[in-house]
């Protein structure tokens, strides 16, 4: 194997690792958002966990995060605005990235 091939493989491995970490962080963010929304809806325990899972799954419907905003917004109704939900998502993404990074170290 040449040095070029080794570098190419290293870049591919780093890209795959970075994508996996981003996916995990986004899923964690959605879970945190789901738990936040569940609390606003008065859900606790297993019911809150199940709701958070449904929020994570909703992100698989289409590209981007508007599917999550739409789901949570529809469920919360007047309890929160779309802008508040997006702000919480941004806040939780920072927290989720830190959590995922700490788990890998």
5 belongs to a structural domain: no
Residue 43, sorted as left (phi over 0), alpha (psi -120 to 50) or beta, turns out to be beta
Tens of pLDDT, residues 22-77? 999 999 999 999 999 999 999 999 999 999 999 999 998 888 889 999 999 999 99
Into how many domains does the chain fold? 1
Tell the residue number behind the tokens 């890998």, with chain if given.
104
For residue 97, give the 3-state DSSP assignment: helix
Q: What is the mean pLDDT of residues 69-86?
A: 95
pLDDT at 1: 67
65 belongs to a structural domain: yes
Tell the residue number behind the tokens 């994570």, with chain if given.
56
4 belongs to a structural domain: no
Residue 87: give its domain's CATH number. 1.10.790.20
Q: For residue 50, give its domain range.
A: 25-104
Contacts of 96 (CB under 8 A, 6+ apart): 25, 26, 28, 29, 31, 32
Measured distance CA(49)–CA(67) in Å, rounded: 19
Residue 96 neighbours by CB distance under 10 Å: 21
């Amino acid at each position: 194997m040449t040095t070029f091939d080794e570098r190419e493989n290293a870049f591919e491995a780093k890209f795959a690792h970075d994508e996996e970490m981003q996916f995990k962080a986004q899923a964690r963010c959605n879970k945190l958002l789901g738990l936040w929304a569940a609390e606003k809806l008065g859900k606790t325990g297993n019911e809150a966990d199940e709701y958070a899972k449904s929020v994570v799954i909703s992100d698989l419907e289409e590209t981007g995060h508007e599917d999550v905003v739409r789901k949570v917004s529809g469920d919360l109704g007047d309890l929160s605005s779309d802008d508040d939900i997006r702000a919480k998502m941004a806040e939780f993404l920072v927290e989720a990235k830190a959590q995922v990074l700490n788990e890998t170290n």
